């Protein structure tokens, strides 16, 4: 039974003790309000007050889709000794936005794998543990990076008329984002989507554009995922190599073509006016993707099911 302040302070003290002792480690979920109600026999208001108190102390933070998890306050983090024997603590201006900004910058220039917690701590001049106040672990870091990247260029408030024009708006915007951040193709699983809100806005946009055209929900969903997969697939292709390596590969290609084993390829690629790069591949593929979808939409209008 809830007796007011006494059980509230006792529960806060017990959970604080568990965190200090390491029984609840960084990233661990603390008991939910319902579990606190059940384990300590208190009302929901008291249980909520317990979690609020721990959050105010900087010991925990809510993570969407996960729950309330343990973090460290900056002023309780273990300090790291510098070369001179002094102590180096986390910078006072360390924020989630700054952590994500540095992580995205590293991933843009060196790839997603380079954006490790250790690397970020080095770039930010802070102990690794201090990062856990802002990101629970690397999985959450990548999740937040993707959400921030997709949010850089918002979809327009008013869609243009026509489903094809509406799809082009989203797909071209996604293309710009993937060209700006090549690591995005690795950040969100295509067929196992995560709750990345700014990316989900594109899924909602595409589904809304296709809604009311006579397509089945199954066809709408497959179209949405296929179109996203097309953008990611082209964007994930490696950029041109450095000049030296490119020259070597051109020599290898010329040797292979002169062997006579690839006559059609040899005839096609020597034609004038060829212009093949990632942007031209995207433009060509986008038109063909939408042309094919138009056939499906026309069939649905005449009562044909997918």
| Top-confidence range, 3-17, 201-215, 242-256 | 201-215
- Establish if 258 belongs to a structural domain: yes
Q: What is the pTM of this model?
A: 0.65
Using an 8 Å Cβ cutoff, are 44 and 55 in contact?
no
- For residues 86 and 18, membership in a common domain is answered with no
| Top-confidence range, 92-96, 126-130, 240-244 | 126-130
- Establish if 60 belongs to a structural domain: yes
- Establish if 226 belongs to a structural domain: yes
- Establish if 173 belongs to a structural domain: yes
| Total domain count, the chain | 4
- The continuous run of DSSP H or E covering 70 comes out as strand 67-70
- For residues 64 and 180, membership in a common domain is answered with no
CB atoms within 10 A of CB 296: 18
- Establish if 46 belongs to a structural domain: yes
The pLDDT tens digits of the residues spanning 46-75 come to 888 898 888 877 788 887 667 788 875 434
- For residues 182 and 272, membership in a common domain is answered with no
Tell me the H-state helices in the chain: 5-21, 33-40, 44-56, 96-110, 117-124, 128-131, 138-150, 163-180, 184-187, 197-210, 217-235, 243-258, 263-268, 278-301
Answer with the one of 51, 71, 91 that is the final residue of a domain.
71
Q: Would the pLDDT of 92 be above 80?
A: no
Using an 8 Å Cβ cutoff, are 304 and 265 in contact?
no
Tell me, what's the pLDDT at 179?
Answer: 92
Average pLDDT, the chain: 82
* Exposure on the CB side of residue 139, measured as CA atoms within 13 A: 6
Nearest to residue 297, comparing CAs of 234, 221, 212, 226?
A: 212
With 0-12 / 13-18 / 19 or more C-beta atoms within 10 angstroms meaning exposed / middle / buried, residue 78 is exposed
Answer with the one of 71, 88, 115 that is the final residue of a domain.
71
Answer with the one of 135, 155, 171 that is the final residue of a domain.
135
With a CB cutoff of 8 Å and minimum separation 6, the contacts of 152 are: 177, 180
The whole-angstrom separation of Cα 273 and Cα 145 is 40
- The continuous run of DSSP H or E covering 67 comes out as strand 67-70
DSSP string, 247-263: HHHHHHHHHHHHTTS-H
With a CB cutoff of 8 Å and minimum separation 6, the contacts of 231 are: 171, 174, 175, 178, 282
- Establish if 16 belongs to a structural domain: yes
Q: How confident is the model at residue 86 (pLDDT cuts 50, 70, 90)?
A: very low
- Establish if 154 belongs to a structural domain: no
CATH number of 110's domain = 1.10.10.60
């Amino acid at each position: 039974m809830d007796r007011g302040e006494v059980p509230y302070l006792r529960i806060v003290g017990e959970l604080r003790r568990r965190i200090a002792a390491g029984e609840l480690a960084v990233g661990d979920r603390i008991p939910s309000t319902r579990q606190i109600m059940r384990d300590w026999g208190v009302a929901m208001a008291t249980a909520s007050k317990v979690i609020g108190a721990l959050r105010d102390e900087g010991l925990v933070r809510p993570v969407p889709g996960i729950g309330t998890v343990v973090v460290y306050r900056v002023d309780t983090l273990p300090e790291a000794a510098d070369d001179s024997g002094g102590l180096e603590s986390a910078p006072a201006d360390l924020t989630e936005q700054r952590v994500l900004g540095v992580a995205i910058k590293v991933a843009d220039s060196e790839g997603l794998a380079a954006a490790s917690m250790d690397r970020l701590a080095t770039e930010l001049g802070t102990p690794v543990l201090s990062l856990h106040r802002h990101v629970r672990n690397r999985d959450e870091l990548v999740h937040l990076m993707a959400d921030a990247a997709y949010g850089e260029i918002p979809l327009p408030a008013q869609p243009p008329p026509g489903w094809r024009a509406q799809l082009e708006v989203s797909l071209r915007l996604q293309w710009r984002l993937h060209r700006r951040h090549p690591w995005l193709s690795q950040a969100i699983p295509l067929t196992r989507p995560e709750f990345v809100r700014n990316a989900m806005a594109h899924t909602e946009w595409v589904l809304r554009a296709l809604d009311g055209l006579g397509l089945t929900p199954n066809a709408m969903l497959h179209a949405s995922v296929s179109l996203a997969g097309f953008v990611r697939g082209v964007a994930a292709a490696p950029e041109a190599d450095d000049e030296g390596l490119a020259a070597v590969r051109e020599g290898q290609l010329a040797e292979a073509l002169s062997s006579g084993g690839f006559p059609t390829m040899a005839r096609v690629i020597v034609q004038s006016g060829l212009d093949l790069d990632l942007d031209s591949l995207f433009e060509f593929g986008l038109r063909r993707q939408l042309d094919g979808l138009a056939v499906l939409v026309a069939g649905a209008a005449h009562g044909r099911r997918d």
